[in-house]
Chain A
Amino acid sequence: MLLIDCPWCGSRAETEFSYGGEAGIVRPADPDALSDAEWADYLFNRTNPRGAHRELWNHAQGCRRWFGVERDTVTYRIARSFTLPDAAGAADGGVERDFETGDPTDAEPGDRR
């Protein structure tokens, strides 16, 4: 059972959280402009990496906030948690922050590796 760091509550057992899939999947601004293939790519295709994976978690039985986690899909080791861009962040293009250091994370939101 994973031990997950909620940026607002601290370390809690996995059973308190629900999983939200890969982080950084940005909804296309104009879905109608997309071809079927492009839309299907947004809808279905995920990177599914072997190794570091940025993913969304919700502290469903706690503060109910969504946040990001970088987890290794082989060892299940969690490198860090990060907060998602807030309204201000969204306005300036979005900045994810490592919740321990407060530093911007290296990845841009929507950055799909």
Chain B
Amino acid sequence: MTGAQPNRLPTGGRVDRSRPLGFRFDGNALQGFAGDTLASALIANDVQLVGRSFKLRRPRGIVGSGAEEPNAILQIGEGATAQPNLRATQVPLRDGLVARTTRGWPGVRFDVGAINDTFGRLLGAGFYYKTFMYPRAWWKLYEHAIRRSAGFGAAPTAPDPDCYEHMNAHCDVLVAGGGPAGLMAALTAAKSGARVILADEQNEFGGGLLACTDQVDGAPAAEWVAAVVDELGDCADCTLLPRSTVFGYHDHNFLTIAERCRDHPDGSADAFSATNRPAAGDDSTAGRQHDPRNGRTAKGPDDHPDSGAAAGHHQDTVQPVKERLWRIRARQVVLAQGSFERPLVFCNNDRPGVMLASAVSTWINRYAVLPGRRAVVFTNNDSAYRAALDLTEAGAEVAAVVDSRRGGAGELGRKALDLGIPVLQGHVVSDVAGRQRVSGASIARWAGDGWATVKPTMRIDCDLVVMSGGYSPAVHLHSQAGGQLDWDESQLGFLPAKSVQANVSAGAGNGKSSLAECLADGVRAGAETVSKLGLEPSPIEAPAAGNIDENPIEALWRVPAVRDADRCPKQFIDFQNDTSVADIKLAVREGYRNVEHVKRYTALGFGTDQGKLGNINGMAVLADILGKSIPEVGTTTFRPAYTPVSFGVGAGESVGELYEPVRKTAIHEWHEAAGAPMEVVGQWHRPWYFPRDGEDMHAAVARECLAVRNSVGIMDASTLGKIDAAGPDVVEFLERIYTHDVGLMKVGRCAYGIMLGEDGMLMDDGVMARRGEHRFYLTTTTGGAANVLDWLEKWLQTEWPELQVYLTSLTEHYSTIAVAGPHSRRVLDKLGCDIALDNESFPFMRMKPATLAGIPVTLFRVSFSGELAYEINIENSLALAMWEKLMDAGREFEITPYGTETMHVLRAEKGYVIVGQDTDGSVTPVDLGMNRLLSNEKDFLGKRSLRRPDCLREDRKQLVGLLSSDARTVLPEGTQLIDEAGSLARGHRRAKRPAWRGSQLGHRSREPIPMCGHVTSSYQSACLGHPIALALVAGGQSRKGATIHAALPGRDPLPVEIVAPVFYDAGGQRQHV
């Protein structure tokens, strides 16, 4: 069959017959031409069946020719680059393309689920909600089975190897849509001197003009389009973005566009040429400037045969960008997205071979494919007559035009009669025959009542039913922008009304129907926007195009059938979601009235449709049933995205190594060389532990802990936040921030400081030191550094501007090396220190500038391990050298580098909390037993809150230590604590259900047990030889010695004893030696 293309017309269209392209569809090798979409190539090859419907598994064919296509939702590509759920009508054909249907098992021709159709009456609206509700625990099973049988496309499991990128741009006027109105609006704006971006979702500009037989300015429409595009290209500040869908209209005229850079017929080059870029750099708010030729996402390999230098995760080849996300801030927006043709709602209107009239004209005129040989055209308006004329012109037989209107059409109707096309006025197509392809249409008289029953008067054999129910302006972006909609009774559609952002609508999307009107409306919109920008609109006249007289459209929302809507064959409103008239009736019967509720209950407008095809028909049928008008029922909310957007383009460059910034300390390379696994804390990569000779983490941490307790360890603490606070009012300022008496600190003193939110909850902690009369050095937690600086600045700038204090972050400028353990002083002595380090000269909680090994440092005698310890603050550039000197000097004491895990164990043994681990924003310093840090002499942030009744409750969760009764079990952090084992105890359980293994079903049968707390930190303590844990327990501080229980999954609750949260050296002597 390759090369046959039985439905290809011998001449015409915008395909290149000299460039055949091979592709595969469900394993079959087929051929199309350059210029085809996948859909047009499938029609050329007479492929009728492109999928099975979502719920009823009915065979489905191609209905539309653009973004509205509901059925031809295919999986494109294979392996890691496969893309699920693409509309074949929007996939340009390229050589070697592989496509397959995603719905139907084992295949679309024979589908086991098609039995659903037979029992379709049982599968009404809300079926899933009603049937699969109970028991709730089984929902997971149901959901899995439902999803598999629905057969949506499969997401690839391997990482996406393709390149995506984001681009920021600014413009005066963004024009969304490159049809007649969009082109004229862009031309008018560009000629007036505005900076313009014109984006269109198709491969070529022109929109409907590409499938149009009319003349514009005396030339064929497509030729006129080419001339205008050339003219726009010559404008200095006009960026043309074909293959680019404006999919989101966000606040303050911020719009998002997805550009498919590789959708060229040859499948390679990037459309983004140097002559075609937005002017940039003259706008202070411009985003980063990105030259695709220089970046890692340079143009195709053909353009750069020798550019192997690209960075990123593709090391061997420079990859062309697959898709680009444009983030555009536009001063004015012209929305010219055209309109969507509506289907008509008759029995079996979903059979393959039932198509929209506009799609049929597009297949014939643009792609030179003939979708049928003998057609019945069914319409309630004039536009479908064009399809009848096009079909006749292309050599097909139009058996009849069935027009519901007694008066028929205007000028186009006379043309049809001239060509000898039979026209049946005042008739409707009430049903179609054929299952996998249309074989005939039943015709009935139309008396004006959609809910009456009718008897067909004749049946016409045909292989194509062409339908047109009128046009709905594509108001999606206008509505996303917050704009209102008005119902237009003469056009039977919602038109864009008042805008709330800087946008205007034009063309078919603004309710204009004739070509001449659309062209003129584009000029108007262009001139209007440039006037708002303060520019003089260039005097441009809309080109001449024939205006033909048309008869008005007639409302025909539901076509009468042989039986009422519940019993007649299905009349589909939303093909993709299998929503029929009967479903909407059922929803109303079950009490749904609001259009948003009906939408959710029936799934109307879900999926890729998002209100494109079935929306208005659905509203109209609902209004009819409720006895209301359509504007009374209203429409549903339009939200981004207008068409589905790939995850890849959403992520852009932010994948792999570029997912988020990596912060490394000055000593990082030493840690890496030592083989330390890294723990990521607030983007910092911190060594977790330093394994030796095949040690696992537990062994390494135990060894590191014992080294610190018995000899000396060394840790890179550079990631702690460091802030210099200086100024005449610094003491007053810090008194208000910290809870202790800052003013009492003498120069050279250190203090452990905590700060609270105004709600009294612990916010951050750290050692702070007084470096001078008016200068302090503050440290924060690693993760809290930025927040604390913001917090301090906020108070200074918004509340206390009279305080003269200057804050400077030093986090990135200084490294901190902690040397901890009984031998730490000897290590420093050995290196040579210019100050005396003995306990009398340099006692605990002091800081001093010093020279260590000839290098200037600031020494802090502070300890986070409870041992004699020093923290060495040193300029980044000298930190690695200092670390290596310390390792050398410490060799005789077996100085041991340790990581964050050991640090955590050591501090837990001392009962020091980690903010954010042992606290969670609902913990006061009183809960933590830190009362001695709270000054009675002054006010500080959060102090008043500590007297709130809730903070005075005696059953607040308070910090305690826990010891496992078996002295073996390390409680998982987060373990729930309960007072009594209750019904979880074994004896109780055995009587009820001997084989219970702790499954969720088992839990459901038991009484809930109130928890009294949870474990926040838990480790095996190497120096104590048993597990230790910190926990928050209700009223815990007064329950020392009590036994409570830890609820452990899959085993008996474990008794645990409440103890003081200090497990080691409770007197604190070791740090004072």
Complex Cα distance A20/B802, Å? 20
Q: Interface-forming stretch among A36-44, A45-53, A98-106?
A: A36-44
User: Which residue of the partner chain B has the closest CB to A84?
Assistant: B798
Contacts of B939 in A (CB 8 A): 31-32
- Specify the main secondary structure of chain A where it touches its partner: mixed
- Specify the main secondary structure of chain B where it touches its partner: mixed
The answer to whether B482 has its CB under 8 Å from any CB of chain A is yes
**For B482, B794, B797, B799, which residue has the most chain A Cβ atoms within 10 angstroms?**
B797
Q: A58-B794, A65-B797, A89-B801 are in contact. Are A3 and B944 (CB under 8 A)?
A: no
Complex Cα distance A36/B947, Å? 8
The answer to whether B826 has its CB under 8 Å from any CB of chain A is no
Complex Cα distance A66/B795, Å? 10
Q: Interface-forming stretch among B89-97, B249-257, B471-479, B1044-1052?
A: B249-257
Known pairs A2-B251, A39-B945, A75-B482; list 4 more (Cβ under 8 Å).
A10-B284, A32-B944, A36-B949, A60-B790
Residues A13 and B790 in contact, CB atoms below 8 Å apart = no
Residues A66 and B793 in contact, CB atoms below 8 Å apart = yes
Complex Cα distance A89/B798, Å? 12
A84 CB contact (under 8 Å) in B797, B944, B949: B797
Contacts of A60 in B (CB 8 A): 790
Q: A31-B943, A39-B944, A39-B945 are in contact. Are A75 and B801 (CB under 8 A)?
A: no
Contact code string B453-486 (vs A, CB < 8 Å = 1, else 0): 0000000000000000000000000000010000
Contact code string A61-94 (vs B, CB < 8 Å = 1, else 0): 0001110000000011110000011110111000
Contacts of A76 in B (CB 8 A): 251-252
Complex Cα distance A16/B261, Å? 29
Contacts of A11 in B (CB 8 A): 284-285
The answer to whether B406 has its CB under 8 Å from any CB of chain A is no
The answer to whether B758 has its CB under 8 Å from any CB of chain A is yes
The answer to whether A113 has its CB under 8 Å from any CB of chain B is no
Residues A85 and B801 in contact, CB atoms below 8 Å apart = yes
The answer to whether B329 has its CB under 8 Å from any CB of chain A is yes
Contacts of A3 in B (CB 8 A): 252-254, 285, 329
In A1-60, which residues have CB < 8 Å from any B CB?
A: 1-3, 10-13, 18, 20, 26-27, 31-32, 34, 36, 39-40, 43, 56, 58, 60
The answer to whether B533 has its CB under 8 Å from any CB of chain A is no
What residues of chain B have their CB less than 8 Å away from a CB belonging to chain A? 250-254, 284-285, 329, 482, 500, 758-759, 790, 793-794, 797-802, 804, 939, 943-945, 947-949
A31 CB contact (under 8 Å) in B482, B790, B944: B944
Contacts of B758 in A (CB 8 A): 27, 43
Complex Cα distance A27/B801, Å? 13
Residues A18 and B482 in contact, CB atoms below 8 Å apart = no
Residues A1 and B252 in contact, CB atoms below 8 Å apart = yes
Contacts of A65 in B (CB 8 A): 797
What residues of chain A have their CB less than 8 Å away from a CB belonging to chain B? 1-3, 10-13, 18, 20, 26-27, 31-32, 34, 36, 39-40, 43, 56, 58, 60, 64-66, 75-78, 84-87, 89-91
Residues A66 and B794 in contact, CB atoms below 8 Å apart = yes
Contacts of A78 in B (CB 8 A): 252
CB distance from A51 to the nearest CB of B (A): 14
Residues B284 and A66 in contact, CB atoms below 8 Å apart = no
Residues B798 and A2 in contact, CB atoms below 8 Å apart = no
CB distance from B327 to the nearest CB of A (A): 8
Q: List 22 A-B contacts (CB under 8 A).
A: A1-B252, A2-B251, A11-B284, A12-B285, A13-B254, A13-B285, A13-B329, A18-B790, A26-B799, A39-B944, A43-B945, A58-B793, A58-B794, A60-B790, A65-B797, A66-B797, A66-B798, A77-B500, A86-B801, A87-B801, A87-B802, A87-B804
User: Which residue of the partner chain A has the closest CB to B254?
Assistant: A1
CB distance from B526 to the nearest CB of A (A): 23
Contacts of B802 in A (CB 8 A): 87, 90-91
Complex Cα distance A40/B948, Å? 8
CB distance from A20 to the nearest CB of B (A): 6
Complex Cα distance A77/B500, Å? 9
A39 CB contact (under 8 Å) in B250, B285, B799, B948: B948
CB distance from B1018 to the nearest CB of A (A): 34
CB distance from A57 to the nearest CB of B (A): 11
User: Which residue of the partner chain B has the closest CB to A60?
Assistant: B790
Complex Cα distance A2/B252, Å? 5
Complex Cα distance A111/B374, Å? 76
Complex Cα distance A20/B743, Å? 29
User: Which residue of the partner chain B has the closest CB to A10?
Assistant: B284
CB distance from B943 to the nearest CB of A (A): 7
Complex Cα distance A26/B284, Å? 35
Q: A13-B285, A43-B758, A58-B793 are in contact. Are A34 and B251 (CB under 8 A)?
A: no
Contacts of B482 in A (CB 8 A): 75
User: Which residue of the partner chain A has the closest CB to B760?
Assistant: A43
Complex Cα distance A70/B204, Å? 44
Contacts of B799 in A (CB 8 A): 26-27
Nearest 7 pairs of A and B residues by beta carbon: A31-B944, A66-B797, A3-B252, A1-B254, A90-B802, A87-B801, A90-B801
Contacts of B254 in A (CB 8 A): 1, 3, 13
Q: A13-B329, A43-B759 are in contact. Are A36 and B948 (CB under 8 A)?
A: yes
Complex Cα distance A49/B389, Å? 59
Complex Cα distance A12/B283, Å? 11
User: Which residue of the partner chain A has the closest CB to B329?
Assistant: A3
Residues B790 and A58 in contact, CB atoms below 8 Å apart = yes
Complex Cα distance A26/B759, Å? 15
CB distance from B953 to the nearest CB of A (A): 13
Complex Cα distance A31/B947, Å? 11
Complex Cα distance A20/B791, Å? 10
Complex Cα distance A75/B500, Å? 8
Residues A34 and B944 in contact, CB atoms below 8 Å apart = yes
Contacts of B947 in A (CB 8 A): 36
Contacts of A1 in B (CB 8 A): 250-252, 254
CB distance from A41 to the nearest CB of B (A): 12
Complex Cα distance A75/B948, Å? 38
Complex Cα distance A20/B794, Å? 8
Complex Cα distance A58/B794, Å? 8
Contacts of A58 in B (CB 8 A): 790, 793-794
CB distance from A73 to the nearest CB of B (A): 12
Complex Cα distance A31/B945, Å? 9
Complex Cα distance A2/B793, Å? 23
User: Which residue of the partner chain A has the closest CB to B796?
Assistant: A66
Complex Cα distance A6/B1036, Å? 49
B798 CB contact (under 8 Å) in A13, A32, A56, A87: A56
Residues B285 and A10 in contact, CB atoms below 8 Å apart = yes
User: Which residue of the partner chain B has the closest CB to A65?
Assistant: B797
Contacts of A13 in B (CB 8 A): 254, 285, 329
CB distance from A37 to the nearest CB of B (A): 10
Complex Cα distance A85/B802, Å? 10
Complex Cα distance A90/B729, Å? 15
Complex Cα distance A75/B252, Å? 10
CB distance from B868 to the nearest CB of A (A): 39
CB distance from A46 to the nearest CB of B (A): 13
Complex Cα distance A76/B802, Å? 33
CB distance from A8 to the nearest CB of B (A): 12
CB distance from B651 to the nearest CB of A (A): 16
User: Which residue of the partner chain A has the closest CB to B948?
Assistant: A36
Complex Cα distance A11/B329, Å? 11
Contacts of B250 in A (CB 8 A): 1
**For A26, A34, A58, A65, which residue has the most chain B Cβ atoms within 10 angstroms?**
A58
User: Which residue of the partner chain B has the closest CB to A18?
Assistant: B790
Contacts of A39 in B (CB 8 A): 944-945, 948
User: Which residue of the partner chain B has the closest CB to A38?
Assistant: B944
Complex Cα distance A40/B949, Å? 11
User: Which residue of the partner chain B has the closest CB to A27?
Assistant: B799
Contacts of A34 in B (CB 8 A): 944
User: Which residue of the partner chain A has the closest CB to B944?
Assistant: A31
Complex Cα distance A76/B481, Å? 11
Complex Cα distance A89/B250, Å? 37
Complex Cα distance A43/B944, Å? 10
Complex Cα distance A78/B500, Å? 13
